[in-house]
Amino acid sequence: MNIQGKTALITGGGRGIGFFIAKLFSSKGAKVILTGRNEVTLKEAVASIPNASYIVADVTNEKDQRNLVQKAGNIDILVNNAGILLGAQADGGADFIAKAKDEMNTNYFAVLELTELFLPVLKQSGDAAIINIQSILSYLPITMALTYSASKAALHSYSQGLRIVLEQKGAGVKVFEVFPPYIDTDMTKGVEVSKMKPEDLATDILEGVENDLYAIRSGLTKDVYANWHKAPEATVAAINGL
Protein backbone atom coordinates (compact mmCIF):
# COMPACT_ATOMS: atom_id res chain seq x y z
CA MET A 1 0.00 0.00 0.00
CA ASN A 2 1.33 3.41 -0.95
CA ILE A 3 0.56 5.95 1.78
CA GLN A 4 1.61 9.02 -0.19
CA GLY A 5 -1.37 11.35 -0.48
CA LYS A 6 -3.39 9.35 2.04
CA THR A 7 -5.04 10.80 5.13
CA ALA A 8 -4.36 8.88 8.34
CA LEU A 9 -6.17 9.29 11.65
CA ILE A 10 -4.04 8.13 14.57
CA THR A 11 -5.56 7.62 18.01
CA GLY A 12 -3.23 8.25 20.93
CA GLY A 13 -1.16 10.24 18.44
CA GLY A 14 0.25 12.89 20.73
CA ARG A 15 3.14 10.83 22.09
CA GLY A 16 4.86 7.46 22.08
CA ILE A 17 4.17 5.01 19.28
CA GLY A 18 1.36 7.10 17.79
CA PHE A 19 3.55 10.20 17.55
CA PHE A 20 6.34 8.38 15.72
CA ILE A 21 3.88 6.72 13.34
CA ALA A 22 2.45 10.16 12.54
CA LYS A 23 5.90 11.65 12.05
CA LEU A 24 7.02 8.90 9.69
CA PHE A 25 3.78 8.77 7.71
CA SER A 26 3.93 12.53 7.27
CA SER A 27 7.50 12.28 5.96
CA LYS A 28 6.21 9.85 3.32
CA GLY A 29 3.62 12.30 2.03
CA ALA A 30 0.58 11.44 4.12
CA LYS A 31 -1.69 13.91 5.85
CA VAL A 32 -2.00 12.96 9.52
CA ILE A 33 -4.71 13.73 12.04
CA LEU A 34 -3.78 13.09 15.66
CA THR A 35 -6.33 12.48 18.35
CA GLY A 36 -6.11 12.08 22.11
CA ARG A 37 -7.43 13.52 25.35
CA ASN A 38 -4.64 16.00 26.13
CA GLU A 39 -4.80 19.09 23.92
CA VAL A 40 -1.45 20.44 25.15
CA THR A 41 0.30 17.23 24.11
CA LEU A 42 -1.48 17.21 20.76
CA LYS A 43 -0.54 20.83 20.04
CA GLU A 44 3.11 20.13 20.79
CA ALA A 45 3.08 17.06 18.56
CA VAL A 46 1.41 18.80 15.62
CA ALA A 47 3.89 21.67 15.85
CA SER A 48 6.73 19.28 15.04
CA ILE A 49 5.02 17.33 12.23
CA PRO A 50 4.38 18.77 8.75
CA ASN A 51 0.90 18.42 7.28
CA ALA A 52 -0.60 17.48 10.63
CA SER A 53 -3.68 18.52 12.59
CA TYR A 54 -5.39 17.32 15.74
CA ILE A 55 -8.81 16.63 17.25
CA VAL A 56 -9.28 16.31 20.99
CA ALA A 57 -11.26 13.16 21.79
CA ASP A 58 -11.62 10.38 24.32
CA VAL A 59 -11.92 7.22 22.22
CA THR A 60 -14.05 5.53 24.89
CA ASN A 61 -16.66 8.31 24.87
CA GLU A 62 -19.54 7.77 22.43
CA LYS A 63 -20.13 11.49 21.87
CA ASP A 64 -16.43 12.07 21.21
CA GLN A 65 -16.33 9.12 18.82
CA ARG A 66 -19.10 10.53 16.66
CA ASN A 67 -17.61 14.02 16.81
CA LEU A 68 -14.29 12.55 15.69
CA VAL A 69 -15.88 10.93 12.64
CA GLN A 70 -17.57 14.20 11.70
CA LYS A 71 -14.48 16.37 12.15
CA ALA A 72 -11.99 13.99 10.57
CA GLY A 73 -13.98 13.74 7.34
CA ASN A 74 -12.62 11.53 4.58
CA ILE A 75 -9.75 9.38 5.79
CA ASP A 76 -7.92 6.48 4.14
CA ILE A 77 -6.11 4.98 7.13
CA LEU A 78 -7.35 4.43 10.67
CA VAL A 79 -4.59 3.68 13.18
CA ASN A 80 -6.09 2.29 16.38
CA ASN A 81 -3.15 2.99 18.66
CA ALA A 82 -4.67 4.38 21.89
CA GLY A 83 -4.28 1.95 24.76
CA ILE A 84 -3.83 1.68 28.51
CA LEU A 85 -2.01 -0.75 30.79
CA LEU A 86 -3.13 -0.62 34.42
CA GLY A 87 -1.33 -3.67 35.77
CA ALA A 88 -4.48 -5.28 37.17
CA GLN A 89 -3.56 -8.13 39.54
CA ALA A 90 -5.81 -11.19 39.80
CA ASP A 91 -6.68 -13.05 42.99
CA GLY A 92 -7.28 -10.25 45.44
CA GLY A 93 -5.70 -7.29 43.65
CA ALA A 94 -7.19 -3.90 44.49
CA ASP A 95 -9.78 -2.72 41.94
CA PHE A 96 -9.01 -5.71 39.72
CA ILE A 97 -12.41 -5.78 37.99
CA ALA A 98 -12.59 -1.99 37.57
CA LYS A 99 -9.13 -1.88 36.00
CA ALA A 100 -9.95 -4.84 33.77
CA LYS A 101 -13.06 -3.07 32.47
CA ASP A 102 -11.11 0.13 31.79
CA GLU A 103 -8.47 -1.78 29.84
CA MET A 104 -11.05 -3.69 27.83
CA ASN A 105 -13.03 -0.54 27.07
CA THR A 106 -9.98 1.32 25.75
CA ASN A 107 -7.97 -1.49 24.19
CA TYR A 108 -10.84 -3.47 22.67
CA PHE A 109 -14.33 -1.97 22.65
CA ALA A 110 -13.20 1.52 21.60
CA VAL A 111 -11.39 -0.04 18.63
CA LEU A 112 -14.55 -1.90 17.59
CA GLU A 113 -16.68 1.19 17.98
CA LEU A 114 -14.38 3.52 16.07
CA THR A 115 -13.81 0.97 13.34
CA GLU A 116 -17.53 0.46 12.80
CA LEU A 117 -18.08 4.22 12.65
CA PHE A 118 -15.24 4.81 10.18
CA LEU A 119 -15.80 1.80 7.92
CA PRO A 120 -18.30 3.58 5.62
CA VAL A 121 -15.74 6.36 5.11
CA LEU A 122 -12.86 3.94 4.59
CA LYS A 123 -14.83 1.94 2.02
CA GLN A 124 -15.32 5.12 -0.02
CA SER A 125 -11.54 5.50 -0.30
CA GLY A 126 -11.16 2.40 -2.46
CA ASP A 127 -7.66 1.80 -1.09
CA ALA A 128 -7.86 2.05 2.67
CA ALA A 129 -6.37 0.44 5.76
CA ILE A 130 -7.05 -0.22 9.41
CA ILE A 131 -3.90 -0.60 11.52
CA ASN A 132 -4.50 -2.12 14.95
CA ILE A 133 -1.62 -1.72 17.40
CA GLN A 134 -1.64 -4.86 19.51
CA SER A 135 1.12 -6.44 21.60
CA ILE A 136 3.44 -9.37 22.05
CA LEU A 137 0.90 -10.22 24.78
CA SER A 138 -1.79 -10.76 22.15
CA TYR A 139 -0.30 -14.24 21.86
CA LEU A 140 0.34 -15.13 25.49
CA PRO A 141 -0.50 -13.68 28.91
CA ILE A 142 1.85 -12.22 31.47
CA THR A 143 0.69 -12.17 35.08
CA MET A 144 1.75 -8.58 35.83
CA ALA A 145 -0.52 -7.41 32.98
CA LEU A 146 -3.09 -10.17 32.91
CA THR A 147 -6.18 -8.27 31.81
CA TYR A 148 -4.16 -6.10 29.42
CA SER A 149 -3.02 -9.36 27.80
CA ALA A 150 -6.63 -10.49 27.57
CA SER A 151 -7.73 -7.23 25.93
CA LYS A 152 -5.01 -7.54 23.29
CA ALA A 153 -5.83 -11.21 22.67
CA ALA A 154 -9.43 -10.16 22.03
CA LEU A 155 -8.26 -7.46 19.62
CA HIS A 156 -6.13 -10.01 17.75
CA SER A 157 -9.08 -12.37 17.29
CA TYR A 158 -11.34 -9.52 16.15
CA SER A 159 -8.74 -8.18 13.70
CA GLN A 160 -8.26 -11.56 12.05
CA GLY A 161 -12.00 -11.99 11.64
CA LEU A 162 -12.53 -8.46 10.37
CA ARG A 163 -9.85 -8.96 7.70
CA ILE A 164 -11.70 -12.01 6.39
CA VAL A 165 -15.07 -10.23 6.41
CA LEU A 166 -13.75 -7.24 4.47
CA GLU A 167 -11.89 -9.44 1.98
CA GLN A 168 -15.03 -11.48 1.34
CA LYS A 169 -17.00 -8.29 0.72
CA GLY A 170 -14.33 -6.80 -1.56
CA ALA A 171 -14.45 -3.67 0.58
CA GLY A 172 -11.01 -2.33 -0.41
CA VAL A 173 -10.01 -1.99 3.24
CA LYS A 174 -6.91 -3.86 4.44
CA VAL A 175 -6.48 -4.84 8.10
CA PHE A 176 -2.97 -4.73 9.53
CA GLU A 177 -2.00 -6.07 12.95
CA VAL A 178 1.10 -4.80 14.78
CA PHE A 179 2.60 -6.91 17.56
CA PRO A 180 5.26 -4.85 19.38
CA PRO A 181 7.49 -6.14 22.16
CA TYR A 182 7.99 -3.81 25.13
CA ILE A 183 8.39 -0.29 23.77
CA ASP A 184 10.22 2.54 25.52
CA THR A 185 7.23 4.79 26.24
CA ASP A 186 5.45 6.22 29.27
CA MET A 187 3.32 3.06 29.42
CA THR A 188 6.32 0.88 30.27
CA LYS A 189 8.07 3.19 32.74
CA GLY A 190 9.22 1.20 35.73
CA VAL A 191 9.16 -2.11 33.84
CA GLU A 192 12.73 -3.39 33.92
CA VAL A 193 13.01 -5.24 30.62
CA SER A 194 14.72 -4.70 27.28
CA LYS A 195 12.69 -2.18 25.29
CA MET A 196 12.46 -1.26 21.63
CA LYS A 197 12.53 2.39 20.55
CA PRO A 198 9.14 3.65 19.31
CA GLU A 199 10.74 5.20 16.23
CA ASP A 200 12.14 1.78 15.26
CA LEU A 201 8.70 0.23 15.62
CA ALA A 202 7.22 2.99 13.43
CA THR A 203 9.77 2.11 10.74
CA ASP A 204 8.70 -1.55 10.89
CA ILE A 205 5.05 -0.53 10.64
CA LEU A 206 5.63 1.64 7.59
CA GLU A 207 7.60 -1.13 5.88
CA GLY A 208 4.89 -3.67 6.70
CA VAL A 209 2.09 -1.45 5.38
CA GLU A 210 3.98 -0.59 2.20
CA ASN A 211 4.55 -4.30 1.54
CA ASP A 212 1.06 -5.48 2.56
CA LEU A 213 2.42 -7.52 5.46
CA TYR A 214 -0.73 -7.95 7.52
CA ALA A 215 0.98 -9.28 10.68
CA ILE A 216 3.87 -7.01 11.70
CA ARG A 217 6.01 -8.62 14.40
CA SER A 218 8.95 -6.57 15.62
CA GLY A 219 11.98 -7.25 17.79
CA LEU A 220 11.51 -9.84 20.51
CA THR A 221 8.01 -10.66 19.25
CA LYS A 222 9.47 -12.55 16.28
CA ASP A 223 11.31 -15.00 18.56
CA VAL A 224 8.48 -15.31 21.08
CA TYR A 225 5.98 -16.00 18.29
CA ALA A 226 8.20 -18.72 16.82
CA ASN A 227 8.76 -20.33 20.22
CA TRP A 228 5.07 -20.13 21.06
CA HIS A 229 4.18 -22.09 17.94
CA LYS A 230 6.73 -24.79 18.80
CA ALA A 231 5.98 -25.06 22.53
CA PRO A 232 3.09 -22.83 23.66
CA GLU A 233 2.93 -23.89 27.31
CA ALA A 234 6.69 -23.68 27.79
CA THR A 235 6.78 -20.21 26.18
CA VAL A 236 4.03 -18.90 28.47
CA ALA A 237 5.89 -20.32 31.46
CA ALA A 238 9.19 -18.78 30.35
CA ILE A 239 7.82 -15.28 29.79
CA ASN A 240 6.33 -15.42 33.30
CA GLY A 241 9.63 -16.44 34.86
CA LEU A 242 8.75 -20.09 35.52
d(CA 34, CA 36): 7
Number of CB atoms found within 10 A of residue 78's CB: 25
- Looking at residue 55, what is its pLDDT? 98
- Looking at residue 192, what is its pLDDT? 60
Rounded alpha-carbon distances, angstroms, from residue 60 to 17, 26, 68, 103, 104: 19, 26, 12, 10, 10
Burial of 187 (0-12, 13-18, 19+ CB in 10 A): middle
Ranges of the chain whose pLDDT falls below 70? 185-193
- Looking at residue 182, what is its pLDDT? 81
Boundaries of every domain in the chain: 7-239
5-42 residue pLDDT tens:
999 999 999 999 999 999 999 999 999 999 999 999 99
DSSP letter assigned to residue 147: H
DSSP letter assigned to residue 196: B
Q: Are 17 and 133 in contact (CB under 8 A)?
A: yes
- Looking at residue 189, what is its pLDDT? 59
- Looking at residue 40, what is its pLDDT? 97
Beta strands in 40-93 (DSSP E): 52-56, 77-80
Fold of the domain built from segment(s) 7-239? Rossmann fold (3.40.50)
- Looking at residue 232, what is its pLDDT? 92
Cα–Cα nearest to 137, from 161, 153, 158, 160: 153
Cα–Cα nearest to 221, from 203, 239, 199: 239
